[in-house]
Structure 1
């Protein structure tokens, strides 16, 4: 949670906790209805989203960036309706997105950092909220417990207020303020009682402290003097034979000393004497000075003394006693005042001196600050000049390095191109048992009608594929792009397909090395991916064809993994690279990304470090993570292909869907219903085999020779039996292209004559022995050469193995 803390100055700061739940809409709506009339024109939206998991953080950078962009897009789409609601109400809105796993703690920290004092959250219903308060703690309950007490929490349900948790911190502060106020008042009362007759707080702190100190000492000394004089007075009145000098409670009520204005009263009930004294708070020590002058100018300091006795004492000794007591008190007051005045003057002088020193220090600090600013500006200018010089030097260095690297790269590219050209030539020349033909560029152009768009049957990152006809035989011509990567793929396909043959590997007919063209046998039913999707309204594959195709692909992989002297790893096995002929026989093609592994009988697990290549969803996760390739990498791709044969679905999440269906007993629901009636037990075994091939670690995947092929061979037998039964049940009429035009019978050895038509060898040879014209067109034949039609012969044998 990295965001700046907002200042909180006591103004209502409103936030709404939002999430994907629809109750958030009601919470925002209630907040707008509640706080807009109160003058709130800014609402903050708090959204907590989970952090990246450990598995997500270990993904590739491009996948992780795509995932983050997807999360940001979903977040913006989720927040857009709430922003629109605020915009419609002409209320400003701020969004704060917090990444955390604990939502209550994250919202609590956001409330503290943003200074939120009013938080609105949504709940499912008021009744449900009440139940959750009594039972387990819901998300709303945990949020309210986590949010600090200074924030008021409003819980809204379906546009209505369900619950309010009031804040407690402000009430506590008011009570503290009240306590402080009462304490201050009581302290000020006591201070007034102690020092009102002598001094008050002046404008400076030193004068106030001195006056308060002397006022307290004066009060204590006066109380001690009065207590001692009153005790003497009582002792005098209590002596025997002094009845005439005794004051009664009714005859002597009070004696009051007035020193200024009316304020505080101090009573002495033990002697019946009450003294009223006071000085206003705003007069300070000036009132003390004026009272002192009144005492000094009066005769015997009695001019300012207003002694009021409701019943005059009958004995003159009592009056003299009271007068002496007042004189003693006046002398105390005079001495303390003179001392306080002298020290107040000294304190004022010290304050003035300190003020002068402070002004001088301020001037010095200002000069130092200006000097520092000048030095900083000089330093900045020097730094800018240095940075400019460094940038120019770096730019010159980079330009020099770039020129050197460009020159070196050009030289390296020229060397690599020359070496690869020589290597291709060596491969073509050194191949003693060359099993493919070298075509001229003119033959390629003629076969494709100058690369007509009508003959284009496929295109991709590798290049384009055209349908063509060479020597009266349909072929597929792949034209690779002229770049370094495609040149390497062209070379690898020549090296791989040029020296190996297998019934279920795509047959390489020939090549045109000068222009990067490869000529393959033509596969009438296209690739397996398009066939599973039933593109161009093609008939869906039956389940027995899919069983057989799985076995054919596994047998081709076993052949590649056991080639000598080096094993071949395909690395890009997927339905788009599995081609089907007219009888739906599967063959693996596009071996341009294959790699070679050294075969060592002593090593059971062959591996090699290489850069990960392939197609996402089919590439081995262990290979993608570590770059270590092994035959088990192709096993992972085979497992995904088998799952698609069973379901005809996209590979995204297919393994999890299949595993869930098997655990729930719903395998028949996920199978492709267009394939016919699947056998239950065999299909479940095949699905479990595919899932075992998709294990994340290669050591947990089954072995191709000992575990995968035996099971697929048994399933192939089941498929062959079902297909034979279907063939025998159908009509046994051969297709028209199986019939020889001369004999009108199924051909046993079809051959193509120079007129472009296919005949049975014996029939056409007998015809050519006595005729030079075509049996069908009756035109002169250019020659009498015959070319075997192996594709047609294979189709006839598939239709009737007895031929």
Structure 2
């Protein structure tokens, strides 16, 4: 490996990092991706990047064999290649240094130049994946990575991403010879002019001008050569292609070393600037017509011929410079045409995008229309389904009556033989009132059939229809008629009558729906205030105690839950659905009544001891009451509710468990009800308080506090409630 002229072992040892970044470029897109990646990741503003292009020369030296047309074509292609990268550098405020190499071995050319210029970062683009170039240059990046000096980091870029990296193991061992040239080119780009070479004047008494010295002309033409950033590097075995070679200046100086000018001629050579333009500093003389003093007309014809020859040569150089300028103008025009074509293509793309958007809008409009049609069809289908369902309900009720199974016959026989008294309605009266069980009259769905709202005898009622296929519902139907027809209480739902042949029950209509609907906001129900919740709790306990004190045998409801507690217009609560109620045999006085039966009820509300042992007692309903009281306070699901509330009381976070819909909970009274509810929900029956002696007195006390703080809007309802109880 060789190093630039003038570098010694001492300078190599003292050399440090140069920070030079070079990009190997070619006509494929891989070079553009590599250059863009280098600008974004390795370069900063005002930094200089070295652009290296290798002209592939055939082994027989055809590219440098004297064919001027091939040489000019190669130079033109190289300049067009560099033009694209120059434009990008200008946009990114980055300087560039162009290098053109010629060799039949591309890898050798790149690695030798990296070693010569002490380049520490080299970026190469991966070759294209099709055509001849892929076969010819497939392994060039990998070969360059292996053959590059160990102070150079080699990046191989594929489609804008790093494909491979070979890291350097040390810094550059000497200072790059390119740094001075980069510094000078950067200084010129900032607007600094090059110093003028001066011509020696003859001393007094001597005629004519002395020719410019070799040093001054060398500096002037060196500045001219440095104005062009194209650099051509050759190794020791390749001829140079540098258009600014020093041999040109040496020949120029040697040919004019013996040139003599008359001492009457005063010529001033202007400073040389980029663009190959000569300027006269004094604006008095030029080279085309040199001024000759009239007092010194004895110039020899030989000197004039030499001046004319020199001017002819300068005119030829000026012509060459103008040709270069013309080429640059043509390239600029070509670039402008390309920009116009790109803009035209962009306009076409925008037009196509607008067309696509319009097509998309039309498609969305069609979709909306189809949705509207589909919605109308679904509404029509739902209407038909509702009509079919009403007809099915009517047919099923009539069919059930016509079939009159053995179970229905037995039910009717029991009702006819018993002393149960209730008002009997005919099926015609029910059909007329419910408009043949119209879907718009339906207000809910019970466990064993639908519920309809209508008017019978000028009274608003709720009609509950038993489905014919509900075998267990028939037993509950009998039980409900038997229980509700024999009792009357303000906190028990009122049975107005029945149509036993068709399994129909007629109740008083409860305008507020169930307690479950009001607690959990179903059907846009308003929020219950804490005063109403305390009053509802006392009403439920009062109705439950009425069932437990029924003579001769107490009645256990067995299915106490918020869904079976109905509220009228004034929020008076009444217990319903007593179809699972069980008569408990009477035992000795002061002993809790109980009986053994199969467990029935709703999960989470069933007495755990009753569920395990089958032993039923009045305190089984007390457990369900405790869960309902906790739900009145928290509006939460019943699963594990007593456990969570107990933990909150122990941890002092009970207020966080309360229903956030109510903001003015009374702390002391609320905590008292919560503790009472937890006692009612004890797992063991013997640990639960007595409903008559402990639970109801405390709930009545809380009810009185609630009525004292009742807002005016609820006062009327409270008065009606007290009148009903009386």
TM-score category of the 2 structures, normalised to the smaller one: 0.3 to 0.5
- TM-score (norm: length of structure 2): 0.43
- The structure with higher relative contact order (CA 8 Å, sep 6+) is 2
- TM-score (norm: length of structure 1): 0.39
